[in-house]
Chain A
Amino acid sequence: MKPPPFEYVRAESIDDALATISELGDDAKFLAGGQSLVPLMAVRLSWPTHLVDIAGVAELSRIAVTDSGVVTIGAATLQRTVERSAAIAAVCPVLPEAISHIGHFPIRNRGTVGGSLVHGDPASELPLCALALDAQLRTRRADGRERVVDARDFFVGPLMTDLEADELLLDVRIPAWPSGAGWGFQEFSRRSGDFAIIAVLTMLRLAPNGTVDEGRIAIAGAGPTPLRPPEAEAMLAGERAGETLFVRAGAQVAESIEPHSDIHGSVRFRRQLAASLTERALADAHRRVQLDG
Chain B
Amino acid sequence: MGDRVEVELVVNGVRRRATVEARKTLADFLRDDCRLTGTHLGCEHGVCGACTVLLDGAAVRSCLVFAVQASEREVQTIEGIAAEDGSFHPLQEAMSECNAFQCGFCTPGFLMTALEFLRDNPDPSQAEIRAGMSGNLCRCTGYGSILDGVHLAAAKLRDGARGQS
User: Is B13 an interface residue, CB under 8 A from the partner?
Assistant: no
User: Is B155 an interface residue, CB under 8 A from the partner?
Assistant: no
User: Is B44 an interface residue, CB under 8 A from the partner?
Assistant: yes
| Closest partner residue, chain A, to B56 (CB atom) | A109
The answer to whether A105 and B3 touch (CB under 8 A), given A39-B45, A42-B45, A55-B69, is no
User: Is A293 an interface residue, CB under 8 A from the partner?
Assistant: no
The answer to whether A106 and B61 touch (CB under 8 A), given A9-B1, A192-B134, is yes
Which bucket holds chain B's interface residue count?
A: 20 to 34
By the criterion CB–CB under 8 Å, are A106 and B59 in contact?
Answer: yes
Complex interface residues of chain B between 19 and 77 (CB less than 8 A to chain A): 21-23, 25, 28, 43-46, 49, 52, 55, 58-61, 63-66, 68-69
User: Is B132 an interface residue, CB under 8 A from the partner?
Assistant: yes
User: Is B92 an interface residue, CB under 8 A from the partner?
Assistant: no
The answer to whether A8 and B61 touch (CB under 8 A), given A43-B45, A104-B135, is no
In Å, the complex CA distance between A97 and B3 comes to 40
Q: What count of chain A residues pass the 8 Å CB interface test?
A: 32
> Chain A nearest CB: distance from B158 CB in Å?
21
The answer to whether A7 and B132 touch (CB under 8 A), given A34-B64, A34-B69, A55-B69, is no
The answer to whether A106 and B135 touch (CB under 8 A), given A6-B23, A42-B63, A51-B22, is yes
User: Is A264 an interface residue, CB under 8 A from the partner?
Assistant: no
By the criterion CB–CB under 8 Å, are B1 and A110 in contact?
Answer: no
Residue numbers in B under 8 Å from A51 (CB-CB): 22
By the criterion CB–CB under 8 Å, are A1 and B49 in contact?
Answer: no
By the criterion CB–CB under 8 Å, are A7 and B135 in contact?
Answer: no
Residue numbers in B under 8 Å from A110 (CB-CB): 58, 60-61, 64-65
Question: Residues on B close to A: CB < 8 A?
Answer: 1-3, 5, 21-23, 25, 28, 43-46, 49, 52, 55, 58-61, 63-66, 68-69, 113, 116-117, 130-132, 134-135
Q: 3 tightest A-B contacts by CB?
A: A104-B135, A1-B44, A8-B22
Give me 14 other A-B pairs in contact (C-beta within 8 A), A104-B135, A107-B135 excluded: A2-B44, A5-B22, A6-B3, A6-B23, A7-B2, A8-B22, A10-B1, A34-B65, A34-B66, A38-B25, A51-B22, A104-B49, A106-B52, A109-B60
